[in-house]
Amino acid sequence: MSHPPSGIAQAPATVPDDRGYFGAFGGRFVPETLMSAVEELSQAYADARSDRAFWAELDGLLRDYAGRPTPLYFAQRLTSLCGGARIYLKREALAHTGAHKINNTLGQGLLARRMGKRRIVAETGAGQHGVASATTAALLGMDCVVYMGTEDMRRQAPNVDRMRLLGSEVRGVNAGSRTLKDAINEAIRDWVTNVRTTHYLLGSVLGPHPYPMMVRDFQAIIGREARSQVLEAEGHLPDCLIACVGGGSNAIGLFYAFLHDPVAMVGVEAGGRGIEAGEHAARFADETRGRVGVLHGTRSFLLQDDDGQVLATHSVSAGLDYPSVGPEHSFLREQGRVTYTFATDQEALQAFRLLCHREGIIPALESAHAVAEAVRRAPTMSSEQSLVVCLSGRGDKDLATVMSAGGGQQ
């Protein structure tokens, strides 16, 4: 194998360690009431992880129920418009429920059943993880309660209806900025109260160990598929991978199978109304407000004020509107293995419209952040090069937001 190009470090083979640390990030910062539960979950997941029958059942569901593998699509008209690298889209939006979230909910759902838990609680921002959780609960015959900030219920109303139709209870959360962070607080409070009967189906690579590792493992199928698909299409590895990063599960999912390959990787945070204004969810880009801290059970980069109070965030996309980020992303950034950038609300909306008009694909506003970066980056690359964008979800849920932001006009 050839040496990797400069600037691409090799990631260590095994993270996290036994205590759930990715270098200096991760860990288990939870109330004592939950410690036995996370220890039990770690043990149950360790058992399942080495059980071929568990993976065989999951693979069967991912294929027959969720519709995997999802296609890797060469976006010819977008590529010719940008005039540079060949752009491929990993079409997670075509998985059942319209986003990558189903990969994780099916995995954790089977694990919850294995642990004898009959009730699931979940948080949701954009509603995609909530819908995937509600779907999994219906499939496996479990009770499901989804916590969602009331601001997010307003802007992602179609997903609230979907969750209720699927038989789940949606509980609105009025605290704080009434978005994803507040929904997680409330889901954790429910878990603390009902921990003996309830599994917390966390939707991203966040939270106490083992969640960041476990959710990564369940999402890693994105990159495993994409890697073999792009090798078949191009005959060699791509030059760059791009994914949006809220908590960061679709990004880790795409990146993980390529970590030891000479492939550049870019995570795209929500730039909101701009970094200087402070109205964003760019934990890495904002060097003043984004500092290492502890929230929701894990140590990672966190948008906070000088006194350690967590700051309100803003993004046009509810799924990226969160003040912290998965600890493995903080680690990969520190290692220099992944580069992080941001796209503003306006750039994401432009990319949304561009993909609609140019490719006939309506992306989730979250995924549109990754598309925005692809549109910036492709022209700087040669037509011999290729890049893979994770199109993590579909945008039906975002129509009201996009139309009120000026509709579908270019």
Catalytic residues: 101, 123, 392
Residue count of the chain, please give it: 410
Using CB under 8 A, count the residues that bind other proteins: 38
Among 10, 33, 80, 228, binds other proteins (CB under 8 A): 33
CB of 259 to other proteins, least distance (A): 27
Instruction: State yes or no: residue 193 binds other proteins (CB under 8 A).
Output: yes
CB of 286 to other proteins, least distance (A): 15
Beta carbons of 109 and 137 less than 8 angstroms apart:
yes
Determine the interface stretch with other proteins among 22-30, 57-65, 130-138, 369-377 (rule: CB under 8 A). 22-30
Site residues (CB under 8 A) for other proteins, limited to 295-324: 295-297, 302, 304, 306-310
Q: In Å, how far are 31, 240, 341, 351 from 386, measured between CA atoms? A: 46, 7, 19, 19
Determine the interface stretch with other proteins among 105-113, 193-201, 277-285, 375-383 (rule: CB under 8 A). 193-201
The pair of structure tokens assigned to 17 is: 């360690």
Instruction: State yes or no: residue 64 binds other proteins (CB under 8 A).
Output: no
Burial class (CB in 10 A: 0-12, 13-18, 19+), 49: middle
For 74, which DSSP code?
E
Instruction: State yes or no: residue 18 binds other proteins (CB under 8 A).
Output: no
Beta carbons of 257 and 265 less than 8 angstroms apart:
no
CB of 79 to other proteins, least distance (A): 43
Order of strands, sheet of 339-344, starting from the edge strand that comes earlier in the sequence = 72-74, 86-91, 386-391, 240-244, 264-272, 339-344
Instruction: State yes or no: residue 175 binds other proteins (CB under 8 A).
Output: yes
Select 233 or 294, whichever has its Cβ closest to other proteins.
294
Q: Which H or E run contains 233?
A: helix 221-234
* 210 upstream amide cis, omega within 30 of 0: yes
Among 16, 27, 210, 271, binds other proteins (CB under 8 A): 27
Q: How far apart are CA 13 and CA 218, in angstroms?
A: 18
Among 115, 140, 195, 405, binds other proteins (CB under 8 A): 195
Among 192, 233, 285, 405, binds other proteins (CB under 8 A): 192
Beta carbons of 392 and 366 less than 8 angstroms apart:
yes
Beta carbons of 182 and 152 less than 8 angstroms apart:
no
Q: Locate tokens 């609105």: which residue?
A: 172
CB of 281 to other proteins, least distance (A): 15
Determine the interface stretch with other proteins among 35-43, 141-149, 210-218, 229-237 (rule: CB under 8 A). 35-43
Determine the interface stretch with other proteins among 192-200, 260-268, 358-366, 380-388 (rule: CB under 8 A). 192-200
Q: In Å, how far are 104, 239, 402 from 334, measured between CA atoms? A: 26, 21, 35
| Torsion sign across C-alpha atoms 24, 30, 36, 40 | negative
Determine the interface stretch with other proteins among 151-159, 183-191, 313-321, 337-345 (rule: CB under 8 A). 183-191
Instruction: State yes or no: residue 189 binds other proteins (CB under 8 A).
Output: yes
Instruction: State yes or no: residue 391 binds other proteins (CB under 8 A).
Output: no
For 300, which DSSP code?
E
Among 185, 367, 392, 401, binds other proteins (CB under 8 A): 185
Site residues (CB under 8 A) for other proteins, limited to 242-301: 291-297
Instruction: State yes or no: residue 19 binds other proteins (CB under 8 A).
Output: yes
Instruction: State yes or no: residue 117 binds other proteins (CB under 8 A).
Output: no
Beta carbons of 316 and 368 less than 8 angstroms apart:
no
Instruction: State yes or no: residue 118 binds other proteins (CB under 8 A).
Output: no
Residue numbers of the site for other proteins (CB under 8 A)?
19, 27-37, 39, 175-176, 181, 185, 188-189, 192-196, 291-297, 302, 304, 306-310
